[in-house]
Amino acid sequence: MTYTLDATDTDLVHGFRRVAADQLDAGIASLGGAGDIGIHEAVHDARKRCKKVRGMLRLFRGSFPDYKVENAALRDAARLLSDLRDSTAVIETYDRLMERYGALLERSALAPLRASFTRDRTASGEAGDLSDRMASMGEALEAVRGRVETWTLEKGGFKAIEDGLVRSYDRARAAMDVANDSRDPADMHEWRKRVKYHWYHMRLLSDARSDVLLAREATADRLSDVLGDHHDLEAFLPRLETSPLADDAVRLLRGLVSEEQGRLELEAFTLGQALLSPKPKRLAKEVRQAVRTWYAAT
C-alpha cells in the first residue's frame, strides 16, 4: 500500500480512487481492531489516514466536483477522536525534552509529571464513550469508502492537479509570512497544516522520480515535523499549570520549552525559505515537466 499516484495506474481517476480506497480501508481496519496494535495506535493510524486522503482531495480540488462534501466528511470523522491524540502527544513531548535536555535535569524530580501523563493517557483509552466514538468514526469512513468508486475528475493530466497544487502551495507561502511576522503559536500551527498538505502532494507525485520533487518532499517532511514539535510544546505548557511538580521545576521546564521553541523556529524558517521561496508559477512549471516526463515514459 503506497501513498503515490503510480505510473502503473490505468489512468488518473483509477489512481485517485485507488489511493483513497487503500487509505480508507486501512483506517477502517485499524478502528475495527485488525492487527496487533493498541487503542491509541489504532486511533492515530485512522486519523492519519483521514489526513492523507484529505491531502489528496486538496490536490485534485480543481477537478473533483465532490471535494467540499468529502473533505468535510473526513474532517468531521477525524474530530471524533482528536482528544486521544492529545494525550499521547504530551508524553512524546516530555520524552523529547528529556532526550535533549536530560543532562541538565534531575529526572527523578520530574518523574511524577511523566506518570501523570501516562495515567491520563490510560484513562482516555478507557473512557466510557470511546468504543461508541470509534464505531462512529469507522461508520463515517465506511460511508466515504462506499462512494469512492463513483468519484470522477472533470480534468485530466496536469490540469487535474494544477489548481489544487498551486492554491495549497500559495497558502503555505502566505502562512509562513504571517507566522514569521507574528511568531504566534496559532500562526505557526496554521503554517504547519499548509506545509503538510504540500508534503502530501509531493509524496503523491513521488513516482515521477523527479530529483526536484523528491528534494521538495524531503524538505517538506522535515519542516512538517519541526512545526509539529513546536505545536506540541505549546500544548505541553498548560499541562504544567496543574502538574504535581514543585514551582522551581515548573519554571525550569517552562524555560526549556521556550528555548526549544526558539531553536525549532530558527530551523523552521530556514527550511521554509528553502521550500517556499519559488514563486507558485515556477513550482507549477517544475511539477508539470515532471508529470509530463513521467507519463511519457509509461
Q: How far apart are CA 63 and CA 56, in angstroms?
A: 12
Q: What is the band of 109 on the pLDDT scale with cuts at 50, 70, 90?
A: confident
Q: Tens of pLDDT along 226-258?
A: 999 999 999 999 999 888 898 999 999 999 999
Q: What is the DSSP letter of 35?
A: S
pLDDT (0 to 100) of residue 62: 97
Which of 213, 63, 50, 222 has the alpha carbon at shortest distance from 138?
Answer: 50
Question: The C-alpha cell of 284 is what?
Answer: 507549477
pLDDT (0 to 100) of residue 298: 44
What's the gap between Cα 108 and its chain centre?
34
Give the ranges where 9-129 is alpha helix by DSSP (H).
12-31, 39-59, 67-79, 82-101, 107-125
Question: The C-alpha cell of 104 is what?
Answer: 541538565
pLDDT (0 to 100) of residue 35: 54
pLDDT (0 to 100) of residue 1: 65
> Under DSSP, is residue 71 helix (H, G, I), strand (E, B) or coil?
helix
Query: Which residue in this structure is represented by grid cell 482516555?
Result: 124
**Percent of the chain predicted with pLDDT > 70:** 96
**Percent of the chain predicted with pLDDT > 90:** 75
Determine phi and psi for 35, rounding to 5 degrees.
90, 165
Domains located in the chain, CATH noted? 12-296 (1.40.20)
The CA-based angle 201-202-205, given to 5 degrees, is: 90
pLDDT (0 to 100) of residue 288: 93
| 295 pLDDT higher than 70 | no
**How does the average pLDDT of the chain come out, rounded?**
93
Q: Tens of pLDDT along 146-188?
A: 999 999 999 998 999 999 999 999 999 999 999 999 999 999 9
Q: How far apart are CA 45 and CA 54, in angstroms?
A: 14
Query: Which comes out higher in pLDDT, residue 88 or 192?
Result: 192
- Answer whether 195's CB lies under 8 Å from 275's CB: yes
Q: What is the band of 190 on the pLDDT scale with cuts at 50, 70, 90?
A: very high
pLDDT (0 to 100) of residue 14: 95
Question: The C-alpha cell of 141 is what?
Answer: 469512513
Residues 200-211: what's their mean pLDDT?
93
Q: What is the DSSP letter of 103?
A: G
Q: How far apart are CA 287 and CA 285, in angstroms?
A: 6
pLDDT (0 to 100) of residue 69: 98
Q: Tens of pLDDT along 18-68?
A: 999 999 999 999 999 855 568 888 999 999 999 999 999 999 999 999 999
Which of 6, 1, 55 has the alpha carbon at shortest distance from 23?
Answer: 1
| 297 pLDDT higher than 50 | no
Q: pTM to 2 decimals?
A: 0.93
- Answer whether 181's CB lies under 8 Å from 269's CB: no
